Structure 1
């Protein structure tokens, strides 16, 4: 994770000691599935990009490296258990330094903290993922991940493996700038670029027959959380949002400046995990605003979704990713012990799984878990504290009803209307909007029956509307159902004897 330039002092730390951690000591217990991993490159031909390390100023179509973790079946002949070094080979490719000798790797990338015996040991650590593993049969929910500022798709590989072993697909691409690998500094433009990359992955998942496209969550770390907040406001197909110390908490102004900013559209279950309170010494020395420990404008502004805010009291910002837990230096002024950091990262992963089980798999025990306080779940509040708020009832409008009607192909609309009115008694379906919808469907090839159904609902709600009966008659006439056309033109005339269109059409039909 790279420090966010827009608030450069927030994560500026003086490091003194190197981490002494291991994947084994994090001790994430795998679920029931083997985990497959694949990394490949796709191209977005709608955008151009310059690979700086080619040193030729040539523009190419935007390359989007993709990493995907999935429930798998191991092929005993071809599958290979991967190591941390295999993941860092991905990092080299994404950072456009794939020819870099592995001997220089730890010193080359700042996120890896430099060459030390501890870091060198990590490279050979076995991970849970397998190469050349077959996608398990079935339909699995998917988590689309947006990394932190200028970071790799694999930055949270331990969490991704844990989720895949529990029946989720995780897909990720690196965080990179609009025209080159460099972002501008956490600008609204950077947010939109990363959001578009996430949307490209939302398109990419449709290539996989084992992914359930009706169960999609977004997850992001740091700057990725900010970008995902905008993506949720743009995309109505997202079912849940997870933010790992997302920057939407620290830099709400960038969010507000987006042309897509719309709090009313932010209506999916949302969980935000925040870093520990920054000590006064650090805030004073590094000139960090005190309000960053308590202010959370997005959370406070949300109305129409269930929202959960957790504070992990043993984690600082960089420890919300696997790479940070394993490699990042520790700041003696504020970082906890490695044992506490690993335990809290495990806790973060377990909470994430529970939230996904509740929102994407509809598991009752997971729903109960996320509703309870940490203490009620047997977790000390010295480790994590929680606040939450439930969604406010949202005004149900014509468009919302239309979405329900569309979902059932505009059938049984009177019954749907009655059920909806019982739940949302203030709903008002305007006569003119029903008339327009009915006409559009009636004269749309293959939608005649649906259009007539809309008109039947309309005359049920507005039985004294001559205009609606006239439109219903026209729909029947266009469908060559002259009998029902005559019946409804006559009904229109009963309500409005001066309806000249009904008079003229009936005369022709009865000749």
Structure 2
């Protein structure tokens, strides 16, 4: 009897070992780029903040911790990749517990201090800290984390996207004036402003293609990024990882910017499985949570997709959830099923971004297919989709897309033709300026950049800034004659242009 008992105990422990999650077992599909990672703190000078360490409640300019994953072509033979503990140290800093000993991390922050979770901290991730970014132009993804969560909560998917040629930027979800949110209606506005800050921050990186920007949000972040989309026109796609937009659309409606007609970009929502009725009754959750999706139903101006992952509970749409979250024995699937489903979430995330930021026809076919057409069992995923019933206006990003397809040749003539068909088309000076600089600073696209500046100056002939930017472009490629001409033209339009004055003194000593 004792031998049988010992055998059963050992069998139970062995099964637990087999079912334990790990980054290696998730086995994400990584691309050709080495993955770089940077973490630093920027400052939003428009808002104030009271850190935890300020005993006397002294306000400071609002700090915004920033995490960036990016593609690199650097050889990493002499470097070691990050560990999960390294990512948790970022969480520790964002929680304003920088000096906390690492052995307290699991006790202090959300997760059980079990042997399995301690083992997770030792696991190796894919990113390398502060290696150089590849000298190419990459689409950008603005990631919005869940309620009061860390910028690194979904580091595995962020790493995977970076390995396939994306720059992913994120900041923690935190209150406007202190770490914790005070009211939900303020929380959504605060996170939306933070996402707008990230857009400006990532635009400072020369490798960021700001004409190919999407947003991705988990849980509460999947509500805030919809508000951000309604406040800005820069996004080309919106991916929701079981976003709260499905569960609490009234919170979005309470904001001043709410307007479903502004949702004109592709939208995809990846949802958790149906919650068992017994659990809903115990938690006092309305039965409509499993069935209703008011926001999706209201979409008319964009292509939209909604998918349900039948083996996934809400927490497991994040890396930290898969690794560390305590399983709910009432409803959660096995660790093997959770890892398999998380890999599918990462696959659909990548294909969605490839389809709409890289114009990848194969990726678009993948996301428009039924799961069965992609050789995925209906037991794992179910899907619905719809196409826009109202045609959106032809805008700046559509123009850039069409111009790029013809390698930016004859741009001025192309603009005249498009304008006849789409008379409401506007090409803002600032966006043309940014696009021109991005192209001209890339040795492969110098002439394309010059063509964009020529169009911009045709539309804005008195813009000193455009002439100054074009001059910088010519200077970058070594065309001193044209650089001098355009700096002089800029200075004639704006005698206070200190950059042009400085450059002309350097070029005409």
TM-score (norm 2): 0.76
| Secondary structure of the structure 1 residue equivalent to 2:308 | strand
Gaps of 5+ in 1: 1-16, 422-426, 429-440, 448-511
CA distance in 1, matches of 2:115, 2:399: 59
Query: Match for 2:164 among 151, 163, 166?
Result: 166
RMSD: 2.7
Question: Bigger shift: 67-76 or 313-322?
Answer: 67-76
Query: Hey, what does 1:495 align to over in structure 2?
Result: none
CA distance in 2, matches of 1:127, 1:401: 38
- Give the number of aligned pairs: 409
Query: Hey, what does 2:418 align to over in structure 1?
Result: 416
Tell which has more relative contact order, 1 or 2 (C-alpha 8 A, sep 6+).
Answer: 1
Query: Hey, what does 2:197 align to over in structure 1?
Result: 200
Query: Hey, what does 2:220 align to over in structure 1?
Result: 223
TM-score (norm 1): 0.76
CA distance in 1, matches of 2:420, 2:217: 40
| Secondary structure of the structure 2 residue equivalent to 1:141 | strand
CA distance in 1, matches of 2:226, 2:315: 20
Deviation at 1:341, TM superposition (A): 0.2
Which has the higher Rg, Structure 1 or Structure 2?
A: 1
Query: Hey, what does 1:139 align to over in structure 2?
Result: 137
Deviation at 1:237, TM superposition (A): 1.1
Query: Hey, what does 1:446 align to over in structure 2?
Result: 462
Contact 1:75 1:134 in 2 (8 A): no
Query: Hey, what does 1:378 align to over in structure 2?
Result: 375
Query: Hey, what does 1:282 align to over in structure 2?
Result: 279
Contact 2:112 2:326 in 1 (8 A): no
Deviation at 1:78, TM superposition (A): 6.4
Deviation at 1:403, TM superposition (A): 9.5
Contact 2:264 2:392 in 1 (8 A): no
Query: Hey, what does 1:271 align to over in structure 2?
Result: 268
Deviation at 1:139, TM superposition (A): 0.5
Contact 1:144 1:219 in 2 (8 A): yes
Query: Hey, what does 1:152 align to over in structure 2?
Result: 150
Deviation at 1:66, TM superposition (A): 0.4
Deviation at 1:134, TM superposition (A): 1.2
Query: Hey, what does 2:118 align to over in structure 1?
Result: 120
CA distance in 2, matches of 1:130, 1:414: 47
| Secondary structure of the structure 2 residue equivalent to 1:194 | helix
Change beyond 3 A, Cα 1:55–1:409: farther
Gaps of 5+ in 2: 1-15, 404-409, 426-456, 464-509
Contact 2:142 2:215 in 1 (8 A): yes
Runs of 4+ residues deviating >4 angstroms:
75-78, 400-405, 407-414, 441-445
| 1:21-420 map, 5 Å | 21-76=21-76, 79-110=79-110, 113-185=111-183, 187-394=184-391, 396=393, 415-420=417-422
CA distance in 1, matches of 2:459, 2:307: 52
| Secondary structure of the structure 2 residue equivalent to 1:53 | coil
Deviation at 1:377, TM superposition (A): 0.7
CA distance in 2, matches of 1:34, 1:284: 47
CA distance in 2, matches of 1:318, 1:265: 29
CA distance in 2, matches of 1:93, 1:354: 33
Contact 2:272 2:312 in 1 (8 A): yes
CA distance in 2, matches of 1:369, 1:303: 22
| Secondary structure of the structure 1 residue equivalent to 2:82 | strand
